[in-house]
Amino acid sequence: MCDKAEERGLGWRGWMPLPARQETKPLGPWLDLTHPIDEAMPRVPTFGPPKVKKLFCLPADPLTVTSFEMVVHTGTHVDAPCHFYSDGPSMEQVPLERWNGPGVVWRFDLPPNSLLEPEHLEAARPLLRPGDILALDTGSSPHINTPAYDAHPCLSLAAADWIVAKQVKLLACDFPTPDLPVHRRPPEGFTWPVHQRLLRDGVLICEHLRGPRPLAGKRVEFIFGALSITGSDGAPARVMAREIAE
């Protein structure tokens, strides 16, 4: 367990209110936007690969049983506010309505190491609605475990503030992090400012989304099947989405 710091980690401002849930009309099948859990799944280099092994295996044993061990911020996963705010909720404390609902998928065709600014977001369609989930499609996910994946776009602080102001309840990225890529960070003193700006106001974050391109430019219904790990700052998530009528 982590002790609550007296001078660092405080400042979570609570969940922003959500509008009443509207009925949706599906227009297509559910798509799986999740990287499978295996040793090739995307991860930060400082996190080791998951360890998946068979404890028992048919036909030698009467049944098959698999165990796995992994860092919760590996592969397709979600971040809880306590990832950066010790006074914020952990995974099991996040209300269920924050993990599912309607939203949009926006496509951005940008050069490597680009910075997403408010003007990029303002020009994207379809328009956001208060309480939406926003998924970013930059074409990064097919390039996992390559230099191209590491040269992913990131958000400016102004873009993070824009997302909070638009009352987005969850931001999902098809790349490792909405903050600066690892190779562009200063050697000391990096504080993950975009994470902090989003999570402070209860905007949840999903990283390493896989293959959202078929849904780009559409209104979508999402399900983020995040594991309810007591006290955890994040969790693996099975992410599913389908097109809905506008």
Give pLDDT tens digits for 6-43: 568 899 999 999 999 888 999 999 999 999 999 999 99
* Pick from 160, 155, 156, 150: nearest CA to 112: 150
- Ranking 4-8, 20-24, 55-59, 185-189 by mean pLDDT, the lowest is 4-8
Contact 179, 211 (CB under 8 A): no
DSSP 7: S
Residue 22 confidence (pLDDT):
85
Contact 126, 218 (CB under 8 A): yes
- By DSSP bridging, strand 77-79 and strand 234-243 are antiparallel
Does any domain span residue 209? yes
Give how far Cα 128 sits from Cα of 13, 19, 94, 118, Å: 23, 13, 22, 13
Task: Scan for tokens 């209104």, then name that residue.
Answer: 219
Confidence bin at 46 (pLDDT 50/70/90): confident
pLDDT of residue 1: 53
pLDDT one-digit tens code per residue, 124-157: 999 999 999 999 999 999 999 999 999 999 999 9
The reported pLDDT for the residue numbered 7 is: 65
pLDDT for residue 74 is more than 80: yes
Provide the pLDDT confidence category of residue 225 given band limits of 50, 70 and 90.
very high
Does residue 59 sit within a domain? no
Does residue 8 belong to any structural domain of this protein? Answer: no
Whether 178 shows a pLDDT value over 80: the answer reads yes
List pLDDT tens digits, range 228-244: 999 999 999 999 999 99
Note down the domain range covering 124: 31-43+71-243
Q: Is residue 211 included in any domain, yes or no? A: yes
Total number of domains in the chain: 1
Q: Would residue 18 count as lying in a domain?
A: no
Alpha helix stretches (DSSP H) within 129-192: 147-150, 157-165
In the chain, DSSP assigns E strands to: 31-32, 51-56, 65-69, 77-79, 100-107, 115-116, 133-137, 154-155, 170-173, 204-207, 218-226, 234-243
Q: Is residue 12 part of a domain?
A: no
Q: Would you state the pLDDT for residue 3? A: 57
Residue 125 to residue 82: CA distance in whole angstroms = 32
Rounded Cα distance between 143 and 92, Å, is: 32
Whole-number mean pLDDT of the chain?
95
116 within some domain: yes
- Does the model's pTM come out above 0.75? yes
Q: What is the CATH number of the domain that holds 172?
A: 3.50.30.50
232 in any annotated domain? yes
Q: For residue 82, what are its two tokens?
A: 């306590």
